[in-house]
């Protein structure tokens, strides 16, 4: 890194300790929490408001209230619950600017990134409300040779769902599990990140305006101890957590001991593979948006780009030119990149950059940022001359930076892409769709895009979730909605209606029955 660039980078932030992506909730015993949360605007470092820290007793009261509403809510026909979600969507659109202002104020996002949150949840709300009743209807199954019987699956609600949501997308990653839980007939208690609690409180306010019953959705604010109380509560029947792998592992351990179902959407180190025959201009635009939108604080953000060596120099020239024009700043100036949200996350980015530079990487500052910004702003960064053992290639950075590396052939690209403990999202870029699909099938990730980036998250009919240390379980699509239910298998006998009193395999056992069954097995399966 040139000396001038080093000076600029060092001045951007001097504060920040290492932490984890997304949710800052800590599931562990710690020092006694303060009584209030000081909610700050990370773009201006000004205090927004102070909110109470909910105690374990407060959490149990919220869970009990949600339990009191469960019987009436779960007994509603799915169509009525869908109507309630439709009204919530309509109210959210009506109050769109109010919600965008809340999101941007406590995250430092751009206006566009705030609007993307509204757009995304409205699309998912529309899908869940329109398809939910059909997906939750009894599903007929085959009975095989037992033609005199009937089989089907019924999807039962679980009870009270505990949702612990992160700070990077405080509306999307809070409302998404809420809507699926409510559609499935559950009630929900949500603990938002202490970094962005106002978005969840605003959501509850808008839900009330839409007519959603108060106790069907409860919000408890606080630090890690509040989240831990929600996870460990005997009153919650399932936990849905989005955040860091380290915290997710601890939540999984607690739920495992309690035999409590859990969905964990955790970290990522998502690769982007660009083949020599790709549309490079489209790939460059996708790379810049996929790496730097929301200041790179996206679980499916592009963090590693692998470019086929024959087009590497051309790609680098194009991405450098495009990246220079990225405008950064306060949202009222309509930039493309806003501030980061969590001060400690800046520390992780700086740690990864220091490790990479020490091991020989080249770090290039990008974008156009006006001087004098007081908040958590960090220039977009391109990192080249990287090696696979660098932190920037192995650990989730969760900031506005991307590492770029060459590959020789398909096998090398797949090897590089899979060389991580994560497996959340990925993309492959090639005008040869057969080749792109072939490569995609070899990538270890829960989702993948071809000639696009991150769009899979808004395709509501697709399930979303990770492999390896990126989590367990799925949200969205039929699989995601049904994950918030207990599937019950039902078998109905119809022979008894016609006077048949017993089956051939029931008592008493006789030699004649034994011989009949042996002949039946030979006839059916031999």
Are the C-beta atoms of residues 35 and 182 closer than 8 Å to each other?
no
Residue 496: per-residue pLDDT: 86
Q: Alpha-carbon distance 448 to 423, whole Å?
A: 10
Q: How far apart are the first and last CA of the chain?
A: 73
Q: Alpha-carbon distance 494 to 92, whole Å?
A: 49
Are the C-beta atoms of residues 244 and 20 closer than 8 Å to each other?
yes
Q: Would residue 385 be called left, alpha or beta, if left means φ above 0 and alpha means ψ between -120 and 50 degrees? A: left
Peptide bond into 75 cis (omega under 30): no
Q: Which of 54, 240, 275, 299 is catalytic?
A: 299
Residue 369: per-residue pLDDT: 81
Q: Alpha-carbon distance 83 to 129, whole Å?
A: 7
Residue 26: per-residue pLDDT: 41
Ranges of residues in the chain with a pLDDT under 50 are: 1-20, 23-31
Q: How far is CA 95 from CA 50, 91, 168, 484, in A?
A: 23, 6, 21, 28
Q: Please, which residues have CB within 8 angstroms of residue 92's CB and are 6 or more apart in sequence?
A: 99, 118, 121, 122, 125, 206, 210
Q: Please, which residues have CB within 8 angstroms of residue 11's CB and are 6 or more apart in sequence?
A: none
- Residue 90 falls in the annotated catalytic set: no
Are the C-beta atoms of residues 86 and 424 closer than 8 Å to each other?
no
pLDDT tens per residue, range 30-45: 445 579 999 999 999 9
Residue 468: per-residue pLDDT: 98
Q: Alpha-carbon distance 86 to 200, whole Å?
A: 19
Q: Which of 105, 106, 265, 395 is catalytic?
A: 265
Q: Could you give the 3-state DSSP secondary structure of residue 63?
A: helix
Strand order through the sheet with 362-365: 362-365, 381-384, 401-407, 302-308, 270-274, 427-429, 449-450
| pTM of the predicted model as reported, rounded to 2 decimal places | 0.92
Residue 51: per-residue pLDDT: 97
Q: Could you give the 3-state DSSP secondary structure of residue 169?
A: coil
Residue 32: per-residue pLDDT: 55
Look at the block and give the residue holding tokens 């001045």. Answer: 11
Residue 33: per-residue pLDDT: 54
Q: Which domains does the chain have, with CATH numbers?
A: 45-266+476-486 (3.40.605.10), 268-464 (3.40.309.10)
Residue 289, exposed/middle/buried by CB under 10 A (0-12, 13-18, 19+)? Answer: middle
Helix 111-135 vs helix 172-183: crossing angle, to nearest 10: 10
Are the C-beta atoms of residues 377 and 8 closer than 8 Å to each other?
no
Q: How far is CA 402 from CA 39, 151, 291, 352, in A?
A: 29, 52, 6, 11
Of 67, 275, 102, 250, nearest in space to 175 by CA: 102
Residue 468, exposed/middle/buried by CB under 10 A (0-12, 13-18, 19+)? Answer: middle
pLDDT tens per residue, range 372-408: 898 999 999 999 999 999 999 999 999 999 999 999 9
User: For the chain, how many helices (H) and strands (E)?
Assistant: 17, 20
Q: Alpha-carbon distance 280 to 134, whole Å?
A: 42
Q: Could you give the 3-state DSSP secondary structure of residue 484?
A: coil
Q: Alpha-carbon distance 343 to 15, whole Å?
A: 7
Helix 410-418 vs helix 433-440: crossing angle, to nearest 10: 40
Runs of H (alpha helix) within 265-409: 280-292, 312-324, 343-358, 391-394
Are the C-beta atoms of residues 224 and 26 closer than 8 Å to each other?
yes
- Residue 265 falls in the annotated catalytic set: yes
Residue 497: per-residue pLDDT: 85
């Amino acid at each position: 890194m040139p000396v001038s660039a080093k000076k600029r980078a060092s001045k951007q932030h001097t504060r920040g300790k290492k932490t984890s992506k997304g949710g800052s909730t800590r599931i562990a015993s710690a020092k006694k929490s303060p009584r209030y949360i000081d909610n700050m605007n990370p773009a201006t470092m000004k205090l927004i408001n102070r909110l109470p820290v909910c105690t374990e007793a407060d959490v149990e009261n919220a869970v009990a209230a949600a339990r009191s509403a469960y019987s009436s809510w779960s007994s509603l026909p799915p169509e009525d619950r869908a109507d309630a979600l439709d009204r919530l969507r309509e109210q959210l659109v009506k109050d769109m600017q109010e919600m965008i202002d809340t999101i941007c104020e406590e995250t430092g996002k751009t206006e566009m990134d705030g609007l993307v949150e509204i757009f995304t949840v409205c699309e998912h709300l529309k899908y869940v409300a329109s398809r939910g009743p059909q997906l939750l209807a009894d599903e007929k199954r085959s009975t095989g040779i037992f033609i005199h019987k009937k089989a089907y699956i019924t999807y039962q609600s679980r009870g009270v769902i505990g949702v612990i949501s992160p700070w990077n997308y405080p509306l999307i990653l809070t409302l998404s599990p809420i809507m699926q839980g409510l559609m499935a007939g559950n009630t929900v208690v949500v603990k938002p990140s202490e970094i962005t609690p106002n978005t969840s409180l605003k959501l509850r306010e808008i839900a009330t305006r839409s007519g959603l019953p108060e106790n069907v959705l409860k919000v408890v604010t606080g630090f890690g101890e509040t989240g831990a109380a929600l996870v460990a509560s005997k009153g919650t029947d399932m936990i849905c957590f989005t955040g860091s792998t380290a915290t997710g592992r601890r939540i999984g351990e607690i739920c495992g001991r309690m035999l409590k179902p859990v969905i964990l959407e955790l970290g990522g180190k998502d690769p982007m593979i660009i083949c020599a025959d790709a549309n490079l201009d489209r790939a460059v635009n996708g790379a810049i948006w996929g790496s730097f939108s929301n200041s790179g604080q996206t679980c499916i953000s592009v963090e590693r780009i692998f470019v086929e060596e024959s087009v590497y120099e051309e790609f680098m020239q194009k991405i450098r030119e495009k990246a220079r024009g990225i405008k950064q700043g306060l949202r009222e100036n309509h930039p493309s990149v806003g501030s980061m949200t969590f001060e400690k996350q800046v520390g992780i980015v700086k740690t990864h950059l220091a490790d990479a530079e020490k091991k020989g990487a080249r770090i290039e500052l990008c974008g156009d940022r006006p001087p004098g910004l007081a908040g958590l702003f960090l220039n977009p960064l391109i990192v080249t001359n990287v090696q696979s053992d660098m932190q920037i290639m192995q650990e989730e950075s969760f900031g506005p930076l991307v590492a770029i590396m060459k590959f020789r052939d398909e096998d090398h690209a797949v090897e590089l892409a899979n060389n991580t403990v994560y497996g959340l999202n990925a993309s492959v870029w090639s005008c040869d769709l057969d080749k792109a699909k072939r490569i995609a099938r070899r990538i270890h990730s829960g989702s993948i895009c071809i000639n696009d980036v991150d769009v899979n998250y808004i395709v509501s009919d697709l399930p979303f979730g990770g492999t390896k240390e990126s989590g367990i379980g799925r949200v969205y699509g039929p699989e995601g909605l049904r994950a918030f239910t207990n599937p019950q298998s039902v078998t109905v006998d119809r022979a008894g209606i016609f006077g048949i009193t017993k089956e051939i395999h029931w008592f008493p056992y006789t030699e004649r029955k034994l011989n009949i069954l042996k002949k039946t097995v030979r006839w059916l399966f031999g």
